[in-house]
A and B are shown apart, each in its own frame.
Chain A
Amino acid sequence: MSATAHPFATRSARGRQLERMTFTVFRVATYFVLLCGLLVFGDIFVKGAHTVFQSEFPYVNVPFLTEAPESLYVFEHNGKKMELGDRAFRAFQSSEAARARAENRPVPRFKAESYVYSAGGIWPCIVGTVLLVVGSMTIALTLGVSSAIYLNEYAKDGPGVRFIRLAVLNLAGVPSIVFGLFGFGLFVIFLDWNVSLLAGWFTLAFMVLPVIITASEEALKAVPKGFREGSLALGATKWQTIRTNVLPYALPGVLTSSILGIARVAGETAPIMFTAAYVVRDKLPWEVDRLGDFFFQGVMALPYHIYVVSSKIPQNEYTARVQYGTAFVFLFIVALIALASIVFRNRMRRIYKW
C-alpha cells in the first residue's frame, strides 16, 4: 500500500466503512420514522374507512357525517341480532307495540343492551371544529399580524422589544393544558363567558399566537428594504407604505405559517376541554334565539369527541368504530382546511409576486 503515496490515493477501507455505517444508521432512522407515520395513518385510514365508507350506494356513510351521536341499542328480535340507534329503537318499540295491540298479543319487551355514543354520527363535532378553527384563526391572525407589524416596523429595537420577543417565544413552549386553564380562569370565570365558542376562540388563538407572530415577523423581514424606501421616498407615510407595499408581499409567508397553526388549533383538546367543548349537545350552533347567543354557546368538537369516546365511556366493539371514524374524518377535515389555505396562499402569491 505504501506504493500508492500520491496525493489522490484512496482513503483507508476502515474510514470508508465507518462512513457507510454512519449513513446506514441515518437511513434506518429515516425509514423508521416513515414506518411509524405509515402505521398511524394506515391504521386510522383502514379502520376509519369501514365506518365512513360502505359498499352499497351512496358509498359514504351519510348518517355518520350528518347526524348527532346517539346511544346504540343491541337486542335479539325473532332470532335476529338488531343494532339500532336511540330514535330508531324507540320508533321500532312503539311500532312493535302497536302491532302487538292490533293482534291482541302482549306488548313485547325488548331486552336491549345500550352502548352510549355508538350510533348516529359526528355532525355537531364537525361543525364545532370548523367554527373553532375559523374563529380562533381570525383572532390569532388579527392579533398576531398586528403585533408583528408593530414589533418589526414601528418599535425601536431595544431591551423592551427584545423582552417582548423573548416572552412571545416562551409562550410557544407553554403546555396546551396550561392555556386551557388560563382560558378557563380568564374567559370562562373572570369574564363570565361560561363555556363558550368565544372563550374557546380566544384560548386557542393565544395558543397559536407565538407561531403566528414569529412567522409574520420573518415574512415582514423578507420584504426587500427597497419596497419600503422607494415608497417612503415618494412621500408615503409609514402606514401607507406598510399597507400598500409591505403587507401584501408578506401575506403569503404569513399564511404559510398559519397553515401549521390551523392543524394545531383544530387538533388541540386540552385548551377547549375547559373553555368551549361539550361532551354532547343536541342543538346545532346556529339554532340560537338571538344572534348574540351564538358566541356564548359551547360546541362539540372532533378532538374532544375522540377523547370522550376513547376514554370516558366503557369500551366495547361498537365504540372502536366511532373512534376510528371520527379520527378519519378529523384528519380529512384538517387536511381540507389546510388545502384551502394553501390554495388561497398560492393565489395571493401569484397576485403579489416579487
Chain B
Amino acid sequence: MVTATTQRSMATSTLFAIKVPPSQDLGTNRTLIEIENLDFSYGPKQALYDINLKLEEKRVTAFIGPSGCGKTTLLRCLNRMNDLIDGTVIGRGSIRINGVDIHGRGVDSIELRKRVGMVFQKSNPFPKSIYENVIYGLRIQGENDKTRLDAIVEKSLRGAALWDEVKDRLHESGLGLSGGQQQRLCIARAIAVEPEVILMDEPCSALDPVATAKIEELIQELRSHFTIVIVTHNMQQAARCSDRTAFFYLGKLIEYADTRTIFMKPANSQTEAYVSGRFG
C-alpha cells in the first residue's frame, strides 16, 4: 500500500515537472518587499509566526499552502488591508517596501494602497460603467481631464487584455461582463493607478479553465512592469506562472525558493508532501 501511494505521488510530481517552465537562470532582482520576523494576530488568535521573506522586484511570487495557513493574511498585510479588521495586531517584526517600514510613523495606508494594488478572490467590479470602473482610482485622486482619462482607460484595458472585448461598450455596466472579463476589469482598475506591486488573492478561484488561462497569460505580461504576489490554491497555477514560490503551513513559512525548486526538489518534507498532493 505504502509503495503504491508513493508511486502515485511520484507520478503527480512528474506531472508538475512537465508544467514547470523550462529552467532558466532568473538571477536576482533588487529586493522590493522585505518581511522581517513578522508576527501577526487577529485578536487573541495568532495567524502568522515569525515570517521572513524577501520579494524581488518585477517577479511573480506565489504563496501556496492549505486553507488557513496564513497566505492571504500575509498578502493583506502588504497593503495594510488588515487594518480594516478590528483587533488585528502586528505583534513583532516589520514589512519594508523600498526600505520604508509600512507600519511606521508617517506612513499613510491610503498612499500605500495607491502603490500596492490588489485584486480580490471574488471579482468585485463596481456597479458602474466599465469606463468608470477603470478610472475609479483616478477619480478619487481628483483627476478629471477627459483626454487623459480616455488614454488611461485604453492603456489599462489593453494592459489587462480586455480592450478588444469591451472597446465598443465602455459605458455599459461592468456587471454585464462574464466572470473572467470582470476579473480582468478588476486588474485593469488596479493597474490604472500605476502601482508598483499588484497583490492577487486567488484571482482565478471562481473562474473556468479558459478564463483562468487568460488571466495567467496576463500575469506573464504584467510581470515586466509590476511586482506581482499571487495567492493560489491551485498548485499547477503556481507552477505555471510564478518565478518564486513560498509555501506556508499553519501560519509559518516553511519554504521559499525558485518555483522550479519547490516543485521539483523541495528541501522540506512538508513542502514535498503538499506539492505532491499527499495533503492539503
Contact = CB atoms under 8 A, between A and B. Distances in A.
A354 to B, nearest CB: 4
Interface stretch (A108-116, A140-148, A233-241, A272-280): A233-241
A230 interface: yes
A233 B126 contact: no
Given A156-B86, A157-B86, A244-B140, A234 B124 contact: no
A353 B190 contact: no
Interface string A64-108: 000000000000000000000000000000000000000000000
Interface stretch (B33-41, B111-119, B163-171): B111-119
B113 A227 contact: no
A331 interface: no
B122 interface: yes
Nearest to A240: B140
Given A224-B124, A245-B126, A354-B127, A233 B175 contact: no
A234 B120 CA distance: 12
Contacts of A245: 126, 136
A352 interface: yes
Nearest to A235: B114
B120 A232 contact: no
Given A227-B126, A233-B117, A234-B189, A353 B173 contact: yes
B210 interface: no
Interface string A204-248: 000000000000000000001011011111111100100011000
Nearest to A236: B140
B110 interface: yes
Contact of B113 (A226, A234, A353, A354): A234
A229 B120 contact: yes
B141 to A, nearest CB: 7
Residue among A156, A235, A240, A352 having the largest count of chain B Cβ atoms under 10 Å: A235
Contact of B127 (A157, A229, A236, A249): A249
Contacts of B126: 227, 230-231, 245
B118, B122, B136, B175: residue with the most chain A Cβ atoms closer than 10 Å: B136
A226 B175 contact: no
Contacts of A352: 127
B267 interface: no
Given A224-B124, A354-B175, A235 B190 contact: no
Contacts of B110: 235-237
Contacts of B93: none
B113 A230 contact: no
Contacts of A224: 124
B136 A231 contact: yes
Contacts of B122: 226
Interface in B117-145: 117-118, 120, 122, 124-127, 136-137, 139-141
B79 interface: yes
B186 interface: yes
Nearest to A241: B140
B136 to A, nearest CB: 6
A234 B186 CA distance: 10
B124 A227 contact: yes
Contacts of A240: 140
A353 B139 CA distance: 20
Nearest to B111: A235
Nearest to A248: B127
Contacts of B139: 244
A157 B86 CA distance: 8
Contacts of A244: 136, 139-140
B42 to A, nearest CB: 14
Contacts of A229: 81, 84, 118, 120, 124
Nearest to B125: A230
B113 A235 contact: yes
Contacts of B127: 227, 249, 352-354
A240 to B, nearest CB: 5
Interface string B76-117: 000101001010000000000000000000000011011001
B193 interface: yes
Given A224-B124, A249-B127, A233 B86 contact: no
B81 A233 contact: yes
A230 B186 contact: yes
Interface of A: 156-157, 224, 226-227, 229-237, 240, 244-245, 249, 352-354
Given A231-B136, A235-B137, A249-B127, 5 more contacts: A230-B125, A234-B114, A234-B193, A235-B114, A353-B127
Among all A-B residue pairs, the 10 with the closest Cβ atoms: A226-B124, A235-B114, A234-B137, A354-B127, A233-B118, A230-B124, A235-B113, A236-B140, A240-B140, A237-B110
25 contacts: A224-B124, A227-B127, A229-B120, A230-B124, A232-B84, A232-B113, A233-B79, A233-B81, A233-B113, A233-B118, A233-B120, A233-B190, A234-B113, A234-B117, A234-B189, A234-B193, A235-B111, A236-B110, A240-B140, A244-B136, A245-B126, A249-B127, A352-B127, A353-B127, A353-B173
Interface of B: 79, 81, 84, 86, 110-111, 113-114, 117-118, 120, 122, 124-127, 136-137, 139-141, 173, 175, 186, 189-190, 193
